[in-house]
Amino acid sequence: MEERAELPKPRFIFPPADVGDVMVEQLEFSLDHGEACTPGCLDCKRLATVRAALLRPFEGRLRK
């Protein structure tokens, strides 16, 4: 059986981003993206999904 050369391990110059930071950035993008919305906007759908999940404990107590 032929021995396969090992691939070089990937080296990261910068450490991977913090997941929490990425989530906050994505939420900020979703909240601010509205100026370019078209009917059926996928970012609006994504925001509605996230909003429903995050605000579930406060259902009925927040104004929309």
Asked if 43 touches Zn ion (CB under 5 A), the answer is yes
Cβ-based nearer residue to Zn ion, 6 or 35: 35
Asked if 41 touches Zn ion (CB under 5 A), the answer is yes
Cβ-based nearer residue to Zn ion, 24 or 41: 41
Whether the CB-CB separation of 47 and 31 falls below 8 Å is answered with yes
Asked if 27 touches Zn ion (CB under 5 A), the answer is no
Measured in degrees and rounded to the nearest 5, phi and psi for residue 2 equal: -75, 135
* Residues at the contact surface with Zn ion, assessed by CB under 5 A: 37, 41, 43-44
